[in-house]
Structure 1
Amino acid sequence: MADPQPGYRPAARWLHWIVAAVVLLMIPAGLIMIRDGISRPVQDALFLFHKNMGVLLVPVILVRILYRLTHKAPPLPRTVPGWQRIAARLSHVMLYLLLVVMPVSGFVRVRAGGFPIELLDRLGVGPWLPKSERVAEVAQSIHAIGAYALIAVLAIHVAAAIQHALIRRDGVWSRMWPPAGPGKTRAVRPGR
């Protein structure tokens, strides 16, 4: 049997799964809170959750990006085809880009719209932006387009992870799972 494949370090795994869990909670909250016919108390609770989880997520995203820039990703197994390597690289770039665009556009939309971000307000952080309906509208459009782009890229990312875990069984999934796992994954069987 071949040597175990290198996996992500525990810090990278924890950062990945924390961001994943929060984003997977924020997406349905964001989609539901803007629908017509939602009761005002539910809508208010979802807006509070969505805005303030975004505030909490920003430092985690920044730490994750800094960690990724300073810690090289482990190599993919040799059995992963070239086109999948390119697709993985592109999807990761898109995910990181969207993880920056979404909170920035959300912040601009809320602050330019003249609305509070309760957690930042309690911390004494000023609005940073003057009220502007035009800026708020542009930011809202970017946030909405970004949300659907994020959903699409996440769907591809999850589908690829499932394919590697259940069909190919090539060790790619175990590079990131479990969150606190060791830095090595099981050996890749030759010929798979």
Structure 2
Amino acid sequence: MHWITAAAVLTMIPAGLVMTQEGLARPVQDALFLFHKNLGTLLIPVILVRLAYRLTHRPPPLPETVPAWQRRAAAVSHVMLYVLLVVMPLSGFVRVRAGGYPIELLDRLGFGPWIGKTPKLADAAQALHATAAFLLIAVLAIHIGAALQHALIRRDGVWSRMWPGRG
């Protein structure tokens, strides 16, 4: 679940950043919006399953060599990641639906909009989505940097815990 989520999120970030740029060719922008909205929709159940799994399965303990401050930083960053991984697709969903736009995957599956067109709600959700996106990018940069530090510098076994069957 970690790597499915990581691949999807690391694909969604550049798509989300590029699709909102001025001067982008309309067909490219439309394709990126379509991709971003529908992958975000698919991510909601993946993230919820991932969160449920994390709440019912504790990760293996960190090696004793990891300092206490790094343990606390890891715990805080993981909580932030989970919160942001829930906020991002939900705020995106609210922004799109309250903006009166389709989510093609859900529409094809027969799901109603659930939210009527509400411009003020769409604007608030868009602001939340944009703020959370930059927070997510920052926390991911720290998370990836810490993982690489454990893999390449400390070589303390933390990196191998992230691979299936090796935790």
The one of 78, 83, 86 equivalent to 1:100 is 86
Deviations 1:147-182 (A, max 9, x none): 0000000000000000000000000001113xx3x3
Tell me the equivalent position of 1:47: 33
Name the larger-Rg structure: 1
Equivalence map 1:150-189=2 (5 Å): 150-177=136-163, 180=164, 182-184=165-167
AA in 1 matched with 2:157: G
Mind listing any 5+ residue stretches in structure 2 that lack a counterpart? none
Count of residue correspondences: 167
Deviations 1:47-68 (A, max 9, x none): 0000000111111111100111
Equivalence map 1:1-192=2 (5 Å): 15-177=1-163, 180=164, 182-184=165-167
**TM-score by structure 2 length?**
0.98
Q: How far does residue 130 in structure 1 lie from its aligned partner after superposition?
A: 1.2
Mind listing any 5+ residue stretches in structure 1 that lack a counterpart? 1-14, 185-192
Bigger RCO (CA 8 Å, 6+ sep)? 1
- After superposition, the CA RMSD in angstroms is 0.7
- Following the alignment from structure 1 to structure 2, what is the Cα–Cα distance between the partners of residues 116 and 183? 42
More helix by share: 2
Q: How far does residue 183 in structure 1 lie from its aligned partner after superposition?
A: 3.4
Q: Percent identity?
A: 72
